[in-house]
Amino acid sequence: MKKILLSFLTMTVFFSAQSADYLITDYGVGNDSTKMNTRIIQAIIDKASENGGGTIVIPKGVYLSGALFFKPNTKLKLMEGAELKGSDNINDYPLIPSRMEGRSIYYYAALVNAYHVDNFGISGPGTIDGNGLKYWKYFWAVRDSMSHIGKSATNLQVHRPRLLFIWGCNNVKIENVKLHNSGFWTTHLYECNNVLIDGCDIRSPFKPVKAPSTDGVDIDVCKDVTIRNTYLSVNDDAVCLKGGKGWNAQTLRENGIVENVLVENCTFGDSHGVLTLGSECIHAKNIILRNCKVDCDVPLLRLKMRPDTYQVYEDITIENVTGRCRSIIEMKPWTQFFTLEGSNAKPFAIVRNISISKIKVKCDIVGDLAGNPMDQVSNILLKNIDVTAKDPEFKCKYTGVKTENVVVNGVPLVMK
């Protein structure tokens, strides 16, 4: 009986510690929005973890910080009117082992980082703001200067931090929070399982300065990811599936499949693609986008086909989407920074089992399917679709694509 009581008391203390709130202003963080708070907020995170866990609470106000690293049993909450604002000095983000553009490399930490923190969570209704304007201006300045000498600048040459980087975490929840103005990708999930993004507002601007490469959610070698009730408008792909690139990417341990992704009840503003597979994706399976609204000039489903990477895109469902977009589906070669690194490999893609149905949109063109010469396409079905299109043509060079009850400008679509 005594042992049982001690065990019960131990569990009570543990769960009490788990649920503790650490209000940052109780630990010396002031309301001066120009003062860097990285060290003291990090000390609060460390203290919470050492005490068994807790939630780091950001109250109303603006709090400036560089990279923060969340520890086991810690979470982040931003109250109404709270803003965690990222430093615009890249020196406030250490260069550490990371993952970018389908490769495991050293790169700069994000503003909010969680490495192998199961049950990690971020909740609102406050804001995490990347304060990205200085980074965006720098990117365009570097790109313009390189173009003047006949060269192109890569994303990685222009050093910018992501907003969130969550690596190797299970059971992640990001809820009711605003994720704005990232310097680089907004939300990067790598090697995570069972992730929920719910009720969030994810955006970056197109003017007066474009926010380059500020992808909304990058899902990189992850399984069981749900995005729902979320608004996304960013100056790159809104939801992007990744997993590796290169002629031997499928053989490397750090790469892998993206599987079981559900995007539902979301609204999409301007971006470069609503749901994009690529430009670093070796295998995506069981992907669903449903019950969404779009108001953008980009494809609903965008397939980026890398001629230097073996790719498999399969079991994809798009259904019940309304609004305005550029096209329903686009499949085109993606040759940015193409390289076979001296290999004689001849990579190709397999694209199969795609269903697109219950679509009612205004668009520029119905679709454009023309990948790389060796790509294999089968069992793509467009069904119960009603579109008003500026160009009623459906460009498709594959026999494995079928249509059923597809109406364009009031006339049934006839495949040519």
Contact (Cβ atoms closer than 8 angstroms) between residue 323 and residue 294 = yes
Q: Give the number of other Cβ atoms within 10 Å of residue 237's Cβ.
A: 28
Instruction: Note the pLDDT of residue 154.
Output: 82
Contact (Cβ atoms closer than 8 angstroms) between residue 263 and residue 234 = no
Provide CATH code, domain 22-412.
Answer: 2.160.20.10
Residue 402 in tokens:
């079928």
Which residues does the chain have with pLDDT short of 50?
1-17
Distance CA 158, CA 75 (A): 30
Q: Which of 389, 382, 343, 345 is nearest to 363 (CA)?
A: 389
CA-based radius of gyration for the chain: 23
Instruction: Note the pLDDT of residue 19.
Output: 66
DSSP symbols for 346-410: ---EEEEEEEEEEEEEEEEEEEEE---TT-EEEEEEEEEEEEEEEEEEEEE--TTEEEEEEEETT
The model's pTM is 0.94
Instruction: Note the pLDDT of residue 11.
Output: 33
Beta strands 237-242 and 178-180, pairing class:
unpaired
Instruction: Note the pLDDT of residue 337.
Output: 79
Instruction: Note the pLDDT of residue 416.
Output: 65
Residue 116 in tokens:
């192998």
Instruction: Note the pLDDT of residue 1.
Output: 38
Q: Which of 30, 33, 29, 31 is nearest to 43 (CA)?
A: 29
Distance CA 221, CA 190 (A): 6
